[in-house]
Amino acid sequence: MSKVYLVSGAGSDDAATVEKKVSALWRRSDFDSVFSKRDSAALKLHVGEPGAKTFVSPRIVKTLVRCMSKTGARPFLTDTSVLYKSRRGDAISHAKVAQEHGFGIVEMGAPFISADGLNGSDDFEVDVGVSAKHYEKVNIASGIMHARSMLVLSHATGHLGTGFGGAIKNLGMGCSSKKAKLSQHFGQKPHIDTDLCSACGECAFWCPADAIVVEQSALIDPDLCIGCGECIAVCLDNAVKFDWSLMGRELQERIAEHAVAVARSKPKKICYITVAQDITKDCDCLGAKQKPLIEDIGVLASFDPVAIDKAVLDLIQQRAGRSLESMSYPKADGTIQISYAESLGLGESTYDLIKVEI
């Protein structure tokens, strides 16, 4: 049974309180054992889409950088380029967004370095290493593979494609190059309900593949569509429709297989922290201010990404009296990634929740 550690906390906690709580969580979790002197140590995070406000607080990240540095490791903040139209679509603009959101090298004591290179194409082909449904090999960002150790810092949220975004998604999708992201989304093709479409053009403007034209209504060219789901996120009319059963299961399985490949590349050199604060309907890729769905829970830590994801969903259920998916995307089932990752040996869904007292 895996151990998951929890320290209660709120997004409104001041810097001194965050330092005290997160440092205590780090010590209790024995994360010093992951990092060694002179390690190039990745702190994988999401710096937030421009316009977002509820991404993980820089106060938490700053404390984690200090904890990593005390081991003698050399931490760097990192993420990969996104597929959709965004300033986070290339390394230069991504670094500027990180700076603007409080993740600059002066504030953090560690630089932000895009893991997949200038344009999101720097990667290594990696064996999944287990018998899986979709892949034998996957493409993982080169900076992730070169790092000797890694802390995966995730923000628990709902998600339009997977129902839930946590450690497994951050590990699988978040550590993948653009090529791998395209591969994960392959086969997920939305369509337009013309009776609902107002022909506003938002979906066409944001489509990364220029697969949408707008006449009397929007039309999606299935041959150009990459299935990224961006049109669903920006549609104001609820006119973009999707085969949710296919998206939910197959996308989550593909993400989990990428996550397995990353985790297997760093045996005993990877750990996970998930922030269950400012839990919103959509992930931090949505460039808009979101209202939290429930009261803040705290920060969790584990060596097991499956266990930490399961614990987060259980805690949300207990706090809200209903599942995260029912509050965000009711047709989605965010537990698929957890059960499938467990079947691949990434971790176990049974866990011992240990509360860290300050």
Least confident of 76-80, 88-92, 151-155: 88-92
Residue environment code for 262-297, b if the CB has 16+ CB neighbours within 10 A, otherwise e: bbbbbeebbbbbbbbbbbbbbbbbbbeebeebbebb
- As a whole number, mean pLDDT of residues 341-357 equals 98
* Mean pLDDT for all residues in the chain: 94
- As a whole number, mean pLDDT of residues 57-84 equals 96
Q: And the tokens for 95?
A: 């670094």
Residue 136 pLDDT > 80, yes or no? yes
The percentage of the chain sitting over the pLDDT mark of 70, rounded to a whole number, equals 97
Residue boundaries of the structural domains of the chain = 2-185+244-355, 191-241
Where residue 305 falls among pLDDT bands split at 50, 70, 90?
Answer: very high
Residue 69 pLDDT > 70, yes or no? yes
- As a whole number, mean pLDDT of residues 254-265 equals 98
- For residues 229 and 188, the answer to whether their CB atoms sit within 8 Å is yes
- As a whole number, mean pLDDT of residues 36-43 equals 98
pLDDT of residue 245: 53
- As a whole number, mean pLDDT of residues 44-66 equals 97
Classify domain 2-185+244-355 by CATH architecture. 3-Layer(aba) Sandwich (3.40)
Helices (H), 101-139: 105-108
CA angle at 333 for the pair 50 and 340, rounded to the nearest 5°: 100
**CB atoms inside a 10 Å sphere around CB 51:** 10
Residue 189 pLDDT > 80, yes or no? no
- As a whole number, mean pLDDT of residues 6-25 equals 97
- As a whole number, mean pLDDT of residues 112-141 equals 95
Q: Which CATH class is domain 191-241?
A: alpha beta
- As a whole number, mean pLDDT of residues 316-339 equals 96
Residue 156 pLDDT > 80, yes or no? yes
Helix, strand or coil, per DSSP, at residue 89 = helix
pLDDT of residue 243: 63
Residue 187 pLDDT > 70, yes or no? no
pLDDT of residue 83: 82
- As a whole number, mean pLDDT of residues 116-129 equals 94
Where residue 208 falls among pLDDT bands split at 50, 70, 90?
Answer: confident
Which residues, 6 or more positions from 257, have their beta carbon under 8 angstroms from its beta carbon?
Answer: 128, 132, 133, 134, 135, 138, 172, 344
Helix, strand or coil, per DSSP, at residue 57 = coil
Q: What is the pLDDT of residues 237-248, one digit of tens each?
A: 989 886 655 567
Residue 172 pLDDT > 80, yes or no? yes
pLDDT of residue 355: 98
- As a whole number, mean pLDDT of residues 19-40 equals 98
Residue type, 16: A
